């Protein structure tokens, strides 16, 4: 049970970009959707979408705004995360421990993370191709000890800006619509962390629309990178249920 809880929280931490909002489109005004592992998304204005993980809000304050720039045919997303409370929760010994609690390491300092991405989508018949690029930086109240990192393939690249100040991400997505009910997403992403290496991941994800309110997502994610413990490739299952309403 504890291992399942830890895994669930890790999936929540890494679920941005699982399938939601991967294109330059935004939700229509007053439209809402949420998933088991996806954030709550709200169509705030015609060209503005807000999102946040409501479950994580109490232990990791977070918010994101996505803006559709019609004049240029692109969208930009800007997010803020305060991960310190969650990292301190996991900084302990025992089954809930993910981050070292050695006395000489000290407590996790205050970390403020700012995410910025640009999306450009191109329609090719029944396939939507999206190019994306992002720049994420973090402000840390004091230098982080490298032993505070979580050396897991899903998590390590997500913490790169905490230790290096910033990171860059580049990617391309292709979503093919077989019908109104069924679509398949294939994407590839690269995370570039200065002083380290390039971390790669790719997802293959099928989305099936059950009705006007429910969608099911099912697929896999493959990661590859040169981690502190060496090069490694890992394959992870992906699953979610999305509920949409207005």
State the pLDDT confidence band at 236, using cuts at 50, 70 and 90. confident
The residue-averaged pLDDT of 107-111 equals 91
Residues 6+ apart with CB under 8 A from 72: none
State the pLDDT at residue 13: 53
> Which position has the token pair 């069924």?
182
Q: Which helix (H) or strand (E) holds 196?
A: none
Which of 56, 26, 62 lies closest to 44, judged by CA?
Answer: 26
Average pLDDT of the segment spanning 168-190: 95
Task: Delineate the domains of the chain, giving CATH numbers in brackets.
Answer: 2-245 (2.40.160)
Residue 212 pLDDT class (50, 70, 90 cuts): very high
C-alpha span between 49 and 243 (Å, rounded): 16
Range 198-214 average pLDDT: 94
Comparison of pLDDT for 7 and 98, the residue scoring more: 98
DSSP 102-138: -TTT-----EEEEEEEEEEEEEETTEEEEEEEEEEEE
Residues 6 or more apart whose CB falls under 8 angstroms from that of 232 comprise: 153, 224, 225
DSSP β-bridge partners for residue 139: 112
Rounded-to-integer distance, Cα 65 and Cα 44, Å: 10
Question: At residue 90, does pLDDT exceed 90?
Answer: no
Are the C-beta atoms of 28 and 231 separated by less than 8 Å? no
Whole-angstrom distance, CA of residue 173 vs CA of residue 203: 9
What is the pLDDT at residue 19? 46
| Sign of the alpha-carbon dihedral angle for 18, 19, 23, 28 | negative
Mean pLDDT for 120-143 is: 94
Q: Which residues of 198-222 are buried (b: 16+ CB within 10 A; e: fewer)?
A: ebbbebebebebeeeeebebebebe
């Amino acid at each position: 049970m504890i291992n399942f809880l830890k895994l669930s929280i890790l999936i929540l931490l890494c679920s941005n970009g699982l399938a939601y909002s991967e294109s330059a489109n935004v939700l229509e005004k007053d439209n809402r959707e949420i998933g088991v592992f996806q954030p709550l998304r709200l169509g705030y204005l015609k060209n503005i979408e807000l999102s946040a993980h409501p479950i994580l809000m109490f232990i990791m304050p977070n918010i994101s705004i996505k803006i559709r720039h019609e004049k240029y045919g692109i969208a930009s997303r800007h997010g803020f995360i305060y991960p310190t409370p969650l990292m301190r929760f996991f900084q302990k010994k025992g089954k809930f421990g993910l981050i070292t609690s050695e006395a000489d390491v000290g407590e996790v300092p205050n970390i403020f993370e700012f995410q910025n991405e640009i999306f450009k989508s191109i329609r090719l018949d029944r396939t939507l191709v999206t190019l994306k690029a992002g720049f994420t930086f973090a402000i840390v109240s004091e230098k982080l000890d490298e032993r505070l990192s979580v050396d897991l393939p899903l998590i390590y690249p997500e913490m790169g800006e905490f230790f290096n100040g910033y990171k860059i991400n580049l990617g391309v997505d292709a979503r093919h619509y077989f019908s109104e009910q069924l679509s398949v997403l294939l994407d590839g992403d690269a995370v570039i962390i200065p002083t380290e290496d390039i971390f790669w991941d790719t997802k293959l994800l099928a989305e099936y629309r059950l009705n006007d309110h429910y969608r099911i997502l099912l697929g896999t994610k493959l990661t590859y990178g040169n981690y502190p413990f060496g090069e490694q490739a890992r394959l992870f299952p992906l699953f979610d249920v999305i509920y949409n309403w207005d």
